[in-house]
Structure 1
Amino acid sequence: MKLSFNVASATGSESITVDITTCIVAGWAGRDLAAIEHHIEELAEIGVPRPSAVPLYYRIASNQLSQEPEVEVVGDGSSGEAEVFVFSQGGEMLVSLASDHTDRKLESHSVALSKQLCVKPVATDAWRYADVADHWDELVLRSWIEENGTKVLYQEGTLATLRHPSDLIQGHFAQSTIPEHAGMTCGTVNAIGGIRPSPSFEMELFDPKRERSIRHRYTLKILPEIA
């Protein structure tokens, strides 16, 4: 799947196109075992079975990646999760933002299938990893949902709560840098008030040192569930 990004750096910006042929969702990717357990219990409340190991790596069809502002989903039981998205271009690792949008009804049957079923929205901006490497743990993930017509904060936390992407990359690819044509989402922070659906999802990766953000918003077009 070809994705286009505007890559910002201290020296300016450039537009690039990358062809992602391998997409991995790293699940249960927290550093703090207590936080992982909290997320496991959070999902258990909606019937999701405990993982067999942490972290787990889910292979997603690369054609599920989308930078469109509207995505189609089947039924009204899905929801988003803000995650860092890492990939490489010309031997350099880059950082963006994606939503691990997941069908929560199907999740109680199969986490892998529930993730595969849904499009994974991806932002159109990116940063060079080298520009944020020295303050990686200070970066903040946030997301907002829509409830009763009001924008509500849904997630907020620093990347210090999540495994470092180099650890996740090593765990799956057995190397410290992500291969060309591969993309990986790197875990999420807890939902405030529990996991729930929303007709729209807005997410942000905020860099407090450079005072800049990557943001993306998408809305859902809900398709009927036909028995």
Structure 2
Amino acid sequence: MTTFQLADSGETLEVETRELIIAGWAGREQAAIDEHIEELREIGVTPPSSTPLFYRVSADQLTTADTIQVLGDASSGEVEVVLIGSPQGTLVGIGSDHTDREAEAWSVAHSKQVCAKPVGRQVWPLEEVIDHWDELTMSSWATIDGQEVLYQQGRVTGLLPPAELLRRFGLEQTRLDPGQVMLCGTLPVIGGVRAAEAFCMVLEDPLRGRTLAHGYRVQTLPVIA
């Protein structure tokens, strides 16, 4: 059970995640999809068979913790909008599709399964932002060799909007059922995909003058042969 909090009212909501979905290659424009494919091709990742693709990850990989543990030093985060199905309706949050880049070279599905998916506790109701969705912006910062650098930044206009993304997933309505959680795609990386000691992400709603933020540290476990 994960406890979320409505950012404006402070009301807490309990969600039992039963299905965790990662929307990959979810760009709105083919040029942006091709850019992300080339980013990952440079580190050995085979291009997708079609776009978007919806990967399933174990529900218990969702976490609001401020530290995750990973095997080896070849993983990295990706800022993503998160849609959360709750008994009170669909919620919007911010999260990271943390991914093992070495495993990604031979299996994208496997690479996503072996890393926790950090998400922030604070959320907004989807209904509060759906009418100005394209105004939202995402940013991420990575701490690399002790220095925090801007890693990703841009408006969500580069990604499929909720209605179209959920339609392609196979849903007829713009909402998720309680217990369904979907990470909705990421932005191009500034300076190339690389590992970090810590990762911070922000979702900004400039129309209402508010933000959602979450950060986490990465604890690297040794690879023992």
Shared fold (TM-score, shorter chain, > 0.5): yes
- 2-structure distance, mates of 1:173, 1:113: 23
Moved over 4 A (4+): none
Q: Does 1:49 align with 2:46?
A: yes
- 2-structure distance, mates of 1:89, 1:130: 13
- After superposition, where does 1:1-227 map in structure 2 within 5 Å? 2-9=1-8, 12-90=9-87, 92-176=89-173, 177-227=175-225
Contact persistence 1:85–1:96 (CA under 8 A): yes
RMSD: 1.0
TM-fit CA distance, 1:34: 0.3
Secondary structure of the residue aligned to 1:13 is: coil
Secondary structure of the residue aligned to 1:40 is: helix
What is the count of residue pairs matched by the alignment?
224
Contact persistence 1:8–1:128 (CA under 8 A): no
Letter in 2 for 1:5: F
TM-fit CA distance, 1:175: 2.4
- Residues 94-152 of structure 1 show CA distances to partners (whole Å, capped at 9, x for unaligned) of 10011000000010010000000000001010001111111101101100001232210
- 1-structure distance, mates of 2:207, 2:13: 25
Secondary structure of the residue aligned to 1:39 is: helix
- 1-structure distance, mates of 2:150, 2:106: 28
Q: Which moved more, 1:132-141 or 1:90-99?
A: 90-99
TM-fit CA distance, 1:90: 2.4
Secondary structure of the residue aligned to 1:72 is: strand
- Residues 2-43 of structure 1 show CA distances to partners (whole Å, capped at 9, x for unaligned) of 11111134xx33111111100000000000100100000010
- 1-structure distance, mates of 2:126, 2:184: 14
TM-score by length of 2: 0.97
Letter in 1 for 2:136: L
TM-fit CA distance, 1:91: 5.2
Secondary structure of the residue aligned to 2:129 is: helix
Structure 1 unaligned residues grouped into runs of 5+: none
